[in-house]
């Protein structure tokens, strides 16, 4: 649980009172490979920290899977739009490996933000960081071809390459698995 706190403190140093209040609200849950963490159409009521394991967020559209993002150890994640707006999620989050998560409930996040300015600052910074990541990803998808997308993914996610299926990597960069195989053969 202290690792979750350490990640938060990378964004902003919480006051000691905020730290104690935050830690008192944390819970944990384990998921087996293939378990759904958050379903499409379900309101995401938690913010998660991955102690160990790996999850992916993806979207199904007309029999196609679009992988939005992968999260591994020491990452904080949620179904962002669903969590912030408390509306049903448009995508799913599933464990790709046996995964241990620490989480905090939406109501507790709101209470911490109300009671502790430093926690509110953390939320602003992490949500801004997520928005900037998503903008960067969209620009990358528009400006690069499939080979460039694969090379960028490989370079920036070396630690995940052996843990993610080629099908999921193909879905992440927006190509078929056959196309990805061709790209990999030509590198």
Question: What is the reported pTM?
Answer: 0.91
Of 111, 127, 174, whose CA–CA distance to 147 is shortest?
A: 174
Pair (67, 32) in one structural domain? yes
Pair (149, 108) in one structural domain? no
Range of the domain at 104: 2-143
Pair (12, 97) in one structural domain? yes
Q: What is the pLDDT along the chain (187 residues), one digit of tens a residue?
A: 678 888 888 899 999 999 999 999 999 999 999 999 999 999 999 999 999 999 999 998 888 889 999 999 999 999 999 999 999 999 999 999 999 999 999 999 999 999 999 999 999 999 999 999 999 999 999 999 999 999 999 999 999 999 999 999 999 999 999 999 999 998 6
Pair (91, 176) in one structural domain? no
| CB-based contacts of 6, cutoff 8 Å, min separation 6 | none
- Cα separations in angstroms, 86 against 41, 78, 89, 108, 110: 11, 12, 9, 14, 12
Q: What is the CATH number of the domain that holds 81?
A: 2.60.120.10
Pair (68, 33) in one structural domain? yes
Pair (97, 79) in one structural domain? yes
Pair (122, 148) in one structural domain? no
Three-state secondary structure string covering 79-112:
CHHHHHHCCECCCEEEECCCEEEEEEEHHHHHHH
Pair (13, 94) in one structural domain? yes
The number of distinct structural domains making up the chain is 2
pLDDT computed for residue 187 by the predictor: 67
Of 88, 108, 98, whose CA–CA distance to 38 is shortest?
A: 88
pLDDT computed for residue 2 by the predictor: 78
pLDDT computed for residue 1 by the predictor: 67
Report whether 72 contacts 117 (CB < 8 A): no
Task: Return the number of other C-beta atoms located less than 10 Å from residue 155's C-beta.
Answer: 8
Pair (109, 120) in one structural domain? yes
Pair (57, 131) in one structural domain? yes
Pair (54, 116) in one structural domain? yes
Pair (138, 153) in one structural domain? no
């Amino acid at each position: 649980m202290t690792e979750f706190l350490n990640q938060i403190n990378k964004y902003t140093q919480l006051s000691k009172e905020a730290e104690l209040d935050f830690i008192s609200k944390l819970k944990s849950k384990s998921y087996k490979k293939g378990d759904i963490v958050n379903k499409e159409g379900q309101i995401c009521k938690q913010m998660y920290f991955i102690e160990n394991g790996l999850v992916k967020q993806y979207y199904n559209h007309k029999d196609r899977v679009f992988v939005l993002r992968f999260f591994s150890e020491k990452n904080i994640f949620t179904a962002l739009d669903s969590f912030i707006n408390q509306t049903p999620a448009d995508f799913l989050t599933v464990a790709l490996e046996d995964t241990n998560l620490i989480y905090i409930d939406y109501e507790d996040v709101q209470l911490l933000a109300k009671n502790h300015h430093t926690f509110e600052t953390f939320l602003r910074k992490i949500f801004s960081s997520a928005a900037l990541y998503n903008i960067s990803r969209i620009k990358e998808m528009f400006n690069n071809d499939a080979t460039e997308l694969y090379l960028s993914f490989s370079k920036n996610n070396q630690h995940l390459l052996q843990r993610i299926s080629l099908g999921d990597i193909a879905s992440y960069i927006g190509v078929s698995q056959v196309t990805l195989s061709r790209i990999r053969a030509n590198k």
